[in-house]
Homo-oligomer: A and B are copies of this chain.
């Protein structure tokens, strides 16, 4: 194994760790109110539905982001300083997610719903921006594996730019129709899972 390959494996291990922790910390936001009256535990558990909703939503956001990251890094043969820093920005986004999730859960049933959803969706605009940055940094450094054909790279770049525009639109829509904005966010992730990068068939060895 060359030093370069080792570099890629450690950046993946570090990233996997951050993804795994961010996704697991989400549960810390669900707390049972201590003041629950005796014999009313079911009611207290049901009243937490905004927390469950935000937990499941953000869980799948992070899992989809992990799948996208994982598919992207499989195409990369080595890392350099700019890629390490761009990947750092991507992880900054991932570690930030539990906070807007808590904001969303605390306001799902309240007067600040549209503000909370706009803040939540705005986080994804930032996230999409740094993933676009990551792809461009890999391309500039000519760090895609030689067997990755140029069309695959074009397809990924176009897909990432389209999702950026959709996230931006969803954030604006959130101000007037928050539930529609959330639905749009689900749709864009289904789309993201479909632009699967395909490697050229491995050479027989």
Contacts and interface: CB of A to CB of B under 8 A. Distances in A.
Nearest to A107: B41
Contacts of A99: 27, 30, 32
A92 B27 CA distance: 10
Nearest to A94: B24
Contact-residue size bin, chain A (C-beta under 8 Å from the other chain): 35 or more
A111 B39 contact: yes
Nearest to A21: B24
Interface in A82-119: 84-85, 88, 91-92, 95-96, 98-99, 102-103, 106-107, 110-112, 115-116, 119
Interface of A: 2-3, 6-7, 10-14, 16-28, 30-32, 34, 38-42, 45, 55-56, 59-60, 63, 66-67, 70, 74, 81, 84-85, 88, 91-92, 95-96, 98-99, 102-103, 106-107, 110-112, 115-116, 119, 193, 196, 199, 202
Given A12-B13, A17-B19, 9 more contacts: A3-B74, A6-B74, A7-B74, A14-B20, A27-B99, A32-B102, A32-B106, A67-B84, A81-B193
Top 10 A-B pairs, shortest CB-CB distance: A17-B20, A41-B112, A21-B24, A63-B88, A41-B115, A38-B111, A18-B20, A24-B95, A13-B16, A14-B16
